[in-house]
Amino acid sequence: MVMSSFTGRHWLLAVAGLCIASIAAALVGQYAFDMQPCPYCILQRLVYAVIAVLSLIGAFVPGAGRRLLAGLVAVLALAAGAAALYQHFVAAKSASCAFTFADKIITALRIDEFAPSLFAVRASCADAAVSVLGVPFEMWSLLLAVLALACSITAVKRP
């Protein structure tokens, strides 16, 4: 299938697939390569999980509902990108990221108690600053956020 013939449904399914793959990659990094997550890593993981769920729902909702969910996915992609940038430029240079915005969200939602193997914070932001193929891990997250944003905007415009 040529990308120009993709419908909004296809673009949202692509977003969901990318987000699920990124969470799987993060879990492989965590459990196979001891790349322990900080609060901003977990926050991004949570946002990508929400994006994946909304994208899957949006893929099967017709018309305006699909466009609305695609727009919400775009907003969440911007939030994930902002978290990645903050992690890279601020949090990763800090000795502690306890009681930060990300830590407060995780604590308030109690998501770390719901699914600790997925959402428990296990490192400080400075300790979690690792690279994959020479690129900081959070920059890979930023790339995903940009792709999710582009796909969701395209989904809003497509029938």
Tens of pLDDT, residues 46-94: 999 999 999 999 999 999 999 999 999 999 999 999 999 999 998 877 7
**Sorting pLDDT into bands at 50, 70 and 90, what band is 103?**
confident
Q: Considering Cα of 28, then 31, then 34, then 35, what sign does the dihedral take?
A: positive
Contacts of 131 (CB under 8 A, 6+ apart): 137
* The two three-digit tokens of residue 112, written as one number: 């770390």
Tokens of residue 157, six digits: 């415009």
The pLDDT assigned to 95 comes to 67
pLDDT at 47: 98
pLDDT the model gives residue 94: 74
Is the pLDDT assigned to residue 4 strictly greater than 90? no
Q: 70 or 126: whose pLDDT is higher?
A: 70
Give the span between the Cα atoms of 154 and 91, in whole angstroms. 32
Confidence of residue 129 (pLDDT cuts 50, 70, 90): confident
**pLDDT of the residue at 93:** 77
Q: Average pLDDT over the chain, rounded to whole?
A: 91
Residue 14's pLDDT is 97
Pairwise CA distance, residues 31 & 22, whole Å: 14
pLDDT greater than 80 at residue 127: no
| Cα Rg of the chain, angstroms | 16
Predicted local confidence at residue 126, as pLDDT: 77
pLDDT at residue number 71: 97
User: What CATH number should be reported for the domain whose range is 3-157?
Assistant: 1.20.1550
